[in-house]
Structure 1
Amino acid sequence: MTPTKVPYGIQEEYKKKLNKLMETHKRVDGIKLRCASQLVPVLRRGDKSKLRLCVNYKFTLNDHIEDEPYMFPTCNEQLEKLRGQMYTVLDMEGAFNQIVVDTNTGELLTVATPEGYAQPTRLPFGIKTAPKIFQSNMDKLIHGMDGKSPVPATACIVDDICITGATPQEHFNNVNELLSRLDSAGLKLNAAKCKFYQHQVKFLGKIIDKDGQHVDQDTVAAIVNMPPPTDEKTLSSFLGHMSWIGKHIPDIRTARAPLDALLKKEEKFIWTEQHSQAFEQCKKMASSAATLAHYDDNLPLVLTTDASPVGLGACLSHKVEEDGKTFLKPLYYASCSLKASEKNYAQVDREGLAVFWATKYFRQFLQCRSFELHTDCSALKRIFGPKNDLGGCASSRLNRWAAALSGFDFQVVHIKGTSNRVCDSLSRLPSPHTDTYQLSAMSVCSSVSCLAQLP
């Protein structure tokens, strides 16, 4: 391919980046090449100083590269590791460019630049397997290799790393150990983006401290200041921002449902008063997004569920004691709508479905440990209890769900309906239903004092 033409407005910055890029490339004769890909300038938010040079392998190599068989971690999985007192964030200099490639691979990765053809000696941006290759190497380094033990309380997504510890000394030890491993591997950090021994840091777009995860106020401000969408593109941008903070807001899917409907293929983009109300409601909910508490293996878990004629609700909580009183401290809460057929279930069956759905979703938290299941349906205490007292007297679906739940270690506790306010409201204002019962909105309360006391 021929080189990409560079806009005049960024040519000076492009030249600087290209000269730096050529330090890790070697010039080659284009006549002998089997293939070459275009070098593309990418601007971040229109800032020339944040220009990044990537390679467009879409039409050359990516379709012919076998996918890397590696399970990429999710942001939520990494954030769950960060319960601690102090925090350090590290940023890798150049990320993928720190991985060396052999000569044969470099030949296939050849880049067409305005100054001729260049063969990379380091892994470039643009290869579809590059994130997994880099992540797998970082995981090996953090989790331990060559007989080394894992570095505790360390989260990593590609080139972003966050380290914490239960005490300041433990945090200090974890940081020193990881820095030692990075140095031994010959990996470099971007000093300008590293922050050491902080009480609060920004990581993966969230604000992290000892109390939990907070929504970044810059994100909230961007949402609140957005004008009403004028087309599908601007609406998608707004909903994308809402999705990013959606797990901090209960029932966000219910509030944004009219806006989601506008993006359906069969719908024309016609903005009405209903959409304006939904738009403003989403903004209001974004400004009051809650804090997600850190999950603690040492605290007992409580799963509270409820069902209404239209939906299901669930709340996953820690049971904590404070000043001699016992409270529920929510970690996540969720809701979903019922299918048309499920709305015809008897109420006891809907309550059973709420238990089955919530347990299935939160299984990563609930498996391999005991927990309490709180429900305001007294029949479920007997059906889902250890003896299944009703046995064949219950409906076949309840018995199937009871069999499916037998793999969990839990105790059923009956609570009064008046004590189940959170889940009851979630079930009556459900989020749009999906066949797989996907979690629609998760949120936690940062203050224990505002939660209802257990009976």
Structure 2
Amino acid sequence: MLDENNVTEQSYVLYSMYSTSASLCRNLLINGTAVKFQIDTGASFSVMNKKTFVEKVNIPLKPSSKVLKTYTGENVQICGEVEVVVTDDVKSATLPLVVVERGGPLLLGRDWIQHLYVDLRINTIDSHDKKLQKLLEDHGSVFKSAAGCLFDVKVTLHGKPDTTPKFYRARQPPYALREAIEEELSRLQRDGIVEPVDHSDWATPIVPVQKRDGTVRICGDYKITVNKVCKGDNHPIPRIEDLAYSLSGGDKFTKLDLSHAYTQLQLDEESRKYTTINTHKGLFTYHCLCFGISAAPGIFQRTMEGVFRHVPGCVNYLDDVYVTGKNDEDHLRNLHKVLSICEEKGLSLRRDKCEFMQQEVTFLGYRLDKNGVYPLTDKIKSIRDAPTPRNTQEFRSFHGLVNFYGKFIPNVSQVLAPLYQLLRQGQRWCWSKAQESAFSKIKSVLSSDKVLVHFKPENEIVLVCDVSPTGVGAILTQPDDHGHERPVAYASRALNTAERNYSQIDREGLALIFAVKKFHKYLAGRHFTLVTDHKPLLGLFGEGKSIPEHASARVQRWAITLSVYSYTLQHRPGRENSADALSRLPLPYTPDEEDETYDINCVPEEVNFLFSLVDQALLSAKDIAKETQEDIT
């Protein structure tokens, strides 16, 4: 235990490091590895001895300013501190860990307890909690960050009839990245993901994306090869109604995340030719379904439905597998079946992204609990919490949004009358109680079912994006029976300091990425129209455009991100852009909100890796000069 009496802020006394008395312990995953800790409510922070650290974690340490002493006054040598990903039965968090030289039990201190909701009621632990913990321990082999491999199924990419093979020469990478690319190719070969080939009728150039640790991610530019000629998989992605029906009658809910999603599926021999990449080290063919192939979502959904089809109370939505039961016993029985199938068939799960036996789960903008399905307020937050306009320009943007959806608002002119006064010629800006009341009323109407519609996967999807000098905004819409675009959800946020310094075209590109990331679960596996008011983007991200070879790292990452979606990029003049108001009246920027918006845990792996990178250079003018000169907006 850590005793803080009579010691300085950074000095602590450890007098339970060698205790032999009975202790309450907790099994946790540290960076994916199982470790047993002794719960110590007197400890300010959590401690691990060096021997265990080297065996279980073994990552670089940072210096520590803390001073530790034993109960008898001896100094305890500190090796350093480190941030680790800690996962318990229900959640995960990145937390600090102090590593000491000497042995002794591993201490789970108050800093971890408050994040992990450790139950300290020793004699009242629920029997079902124990059964869940035992179940997860029994199936511990399925929880790993590395991709698994579905043993008994091979999937097929279907080329269109009379398809002419597409062969692109290798792009010469920067000299500074060559060694990292070669190391990554070697790793992929060792892991059985790719193999070198001497000849191929198909070849896709690669775009190497550098990660924070200096390694690279190798991405095929399949947008210009495979995606043009391979048939899409028309297997339906589940609708909200399908998910709700499959999980109805459940008391609690578990959500499992399949590691690396598509790469767990093996390709048949004939399909592998389509995935061949051309590098400065030669041709390599993938053995598995890989990132960037537009048919992948439908293939993955169909395959996973087949894998889990005999398990009651189970349904999957792409890489998320949901499990429930009419009571805890039934739930645990169904969960056991799912985990057993994963073990038998070679599938792996990301433990840090799984949630077990929760009272509710969320998907596609809805919250599901044992009583029913409810729309989330997040999808209207950008309208509901939109700040008051500060000048005529900001109000005109909001007025444009109201006009765009005014046809669905009863008595819109009457509601807006106090606001229309601000648009009169020569009218001085004056925001009074009358304007504030009208503003609140119209926001309420825009957020109501008079305007908003429920998402229907079978209908066309239009995603409208915009950016201003201060914020980004997006509206997910679907046409109604009369062809009018009706909003499904709104999203916005303010730009941070760095983003405000972006060039105009970089800000416009950011709006696209913000929108597809925010609404990924709606878009994955479906074709949609992506709307921008900045015409030069069509030259960079338009349908069939290759990933720009000499563009900035940021633009290359964005192009790769967009390549995993099936979309048509459409230009719409600014005056017709319904998202303009959201970008000019964005929700405030906060670090927490930014983390949520760009949380790499909320989307499949083919998008995850792109947003874990650090933005660096701005877009090169050389690559966009032509499009910018032709822009009339």
Query: Smaller-chain TM-score range?
Result: 0.3 to 0.5
The alignment's TM-score, normalised by the length of structure 2, stands at 0.34
